[in-house]
């Protein structure tokens, strides 16, 4: 990535923003100082990786806003990295949770909401049979187990730059020699992940064909567009090619819509009529409560029922105690019925398009070789002139020092965007003025960088 701004200038401005952050947040600082009984001072150690001097402690959040313990109000374009993509604490979900909370919710047995949710998901996504999990990570783990169990084939194919949660089989990258290796930074990895996972570059049908050719692949698991390494959109015809090749080689196509549900009512695959064999959706499905779903075609479901009927007694290796409890299903129903609606998408997609256009105009005005991509409510800016076509290209375009400066400066200006890359989500409550504030905030950083 050609560096547009001097690293020394980026470092100096980052120091200034860090000092500002510290000075403005005495209560967050005090909480951080008293966090010695938490590993790395936080409930999940990676919460320290946001790039702030100490974590931002949140007091409450509503709609498109969150408020920290020091009383600063932020317009939230991170939205829990999609968990709250329809806004924080949507009233119907909050009411369903409150109603269920008083009547018991963890019985390890279904209630009436489960049937409603199953029927709704079937109608929405065109896959007739569904299961519930607690996180998208779990749902992905379970679909891989199903795919292997149903096919008797051991190998899973994913695309380079993918992220599907902390699912061992998918925590891989392609190295310079084209080999599948464990992602850097992985802790405690014992098994050779390259043994049963094959990584191929996104947008490369020839490589996918080669990966499928041995006939040992249970499934291809992918997002329709990569969204966790910056954004990588599919080339025209790529996903249709993936569908055709998976059918040709007898591998299931599993589509993870956890982030690309930003595209529209039935996700990216619904928008283009992709017809996956299985589909995973986590994060926003129950309004941001821990919940996920996975669906399957009639054919996959019939094979799954046959497998359950014929396998020896004992644990299938799928399902967890607290999944699909009455609480989760009540929240999911309220969310699907009243929050995650066509009307919500009709609001968010044009608003995100305005954000994307405004950022493009900003970068053009500043003659910056940066691009902006958008899928529905989700936008991303990347430090490269044209949208990357592979995960490797997207990774090469990253500049973590510059990204951290932009994020921290935005935070100090009351705007929160997703950490680790430059992703922004717009929810139905995001006001137009917040979009202007975000773009002005980025411009302020650019002007400071130009000195």
Ligand X SMILES: Cc1ncc(COP(=O)(O)O)c(C=O)c1O
Residues lying near ligand X in the complex (CB under 6 A) are found at: 81, 135-137, 140, 163-165, 223, 228, 256, 258-259, 282-283
Which residues, other chains included, contact 450 with Cβ-Cβ below 8 Å and sequence gap of 6+?
366
Is the Cβ of residue 180 or residue 258 nearer to ligand X in the bound state?
A: 258
* Alpha carbon separation from 73 to 47, 288, 345, 419 (Å, rounded): 20, 20, 25, 18
**β-strand partners of 199:** 158
Smallest gap, in angstroms, from Cβ of residue 232 to ligand X? 12
Is the Cβ of residue 352 or residue 435 nearer to ligand X in the bound state?
A: 352
Smallest gap, in angstroms, from Cβ of residue 137 to ligand X? 3
Rg of the chain's alpha carbons, rounded to an integer? 22
Is the Cβ of residue 155 or residue 158 nearer to ligand X in the bound state?
A: 158
Contact yes or no for 413/364 (Cβ under 8 A): no
Smallest gap, in angstroms, from Cβ of residue 228 to ligand X? 5
Is the Cβ of residue 296 or residue 362 nearer to ligand X in the bound state?
A: 296
Smallest gap, in angstroms, from Cβ of residue 272 to ligand X? 17
Integer Cα distance of 381 and 417 in angstroms: 11
Smallest gap, in angstroms, from Cβ of residue 17 to ligand X? 26
Give the rounded distance of the alpha carbon of 135 from its chain centre: 12
Is the Cβ of residue 203 or residue 413 nearer to ligand X in the bound state?
A: 203
| Residue count (the chain) | 451
Q: How many CB atoms lie within 10 A of CB 339?
A: 21
Q: How many CB atoms lie within 10 A of CB 308?
A: 10
Is the Cβ of residue 68 or residue 223 nearer to ligand X in the bound state?
A: 223
Helix (H, G, I), strand (E, B) or coil at 160: coil
Tokens 């390890």 correspond to 108
Q: How many CB atoms lie within 10 A of CB 81?
A: 17
Smallest gap, in angstroms, from Cβ of residue 128 to ligand X? 23
Is the Cβ of residue 391 or residue 441 nearer to ligand X in the bound state?
A: 391
Tell me the residue ranges of DSSP E strands in 113-205: 129-133, 155-159, 172-174, 180-182, 197-200
Smallest gap, in angstroms, from Cβ of residue 241 to ligand X? 21
């Amino acid at each position: 990535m050609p560096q547009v701004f001097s690293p020394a200038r980026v470092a100096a401005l980052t120091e200034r923003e860090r000092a500002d952050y510290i000075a403005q947040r005495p209560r967050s600082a005090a909480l951080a100082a008293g966090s010695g009984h938490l590993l790395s001072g936080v409930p999940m150690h990676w919460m320290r990786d946001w790039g702030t001097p100490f974590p931002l402690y949140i007091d409450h959040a509503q709609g498109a806003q969150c408020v920290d313990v020091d009383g600063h109000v932020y317009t939230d374009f991170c939205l829990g990295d999609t968990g709250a993509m329809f806004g924080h604490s949507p009233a119907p979900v909050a009411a369903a949770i409150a109603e269920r909370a008083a009547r018991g919710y963890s019985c390890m047995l279904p209630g009436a909401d489960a049937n409603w949710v199953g029927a709704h998901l079937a109608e929405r996504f065109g896959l007739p049979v569904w299961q519930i999990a607690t996180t998208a990570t779990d749902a992905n783990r379970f679909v891989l187990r199903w795919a292997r169990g149903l096919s008797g084939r051991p190998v899973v194919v994913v695309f380079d730059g993918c992220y599907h949660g902390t699912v061992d089989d998918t925590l891989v990258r392609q190295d310079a020699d084209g080999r599948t290796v464990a992602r850097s930074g992985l802790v405690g990895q014992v098994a050779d992940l390259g043994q049963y996972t094959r990584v191929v570059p996104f947008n490369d049908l020839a490589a996918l064909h080669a990966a499928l050719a041995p006939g040992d692949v249970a499934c291809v698991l992918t997002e329709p567009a990569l969204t966790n390494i910056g954004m990588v959109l599919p080339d025209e015809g790529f996903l249709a090619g993936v569908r055709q090749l998976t059918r040709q080689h007898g591998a299931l196509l599993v589509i993870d819509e956890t982030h690309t549900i930003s595209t529209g009512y039935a996700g990216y695959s619904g928008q283009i009529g992709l017809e996956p064999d299985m589909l995973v959706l986590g994060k926003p499905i129950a309004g941001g409560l821990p919940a996920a779903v996975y669906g399957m075609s009639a054919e996959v479901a019939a094979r799954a029922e046959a497998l359950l009927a014929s396998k020896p007694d004992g644990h299938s290796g799928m399902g967890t105690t607290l999944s699909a409890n009455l609480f989760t299903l009540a929240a999911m129903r309220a969310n699907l019925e009243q929050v995650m609606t066509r009307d919500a998408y009709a609001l968010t997609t044009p608003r995100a398009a305005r954000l994307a256009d405004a950022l493009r105009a900003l970068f053009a005005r500043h003659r910056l070789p940066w691009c902006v991509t958008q899928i529905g409510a989700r936008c991303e800016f990347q430090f490269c002139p044209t949208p990357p076509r592979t995960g490797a290209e997207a990774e090469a375009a990253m500049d973590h020092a510059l990204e951290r400066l932009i994020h921290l400066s935005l935070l100090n200006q009351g705007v929160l965007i997703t950490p680790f890359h430059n992703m922004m989500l717009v929810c139905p409550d995001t006001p137009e003025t917040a979009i202007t504030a975000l773009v002005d905030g980025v411009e302020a950083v650019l002007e400071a960088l130009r000195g």
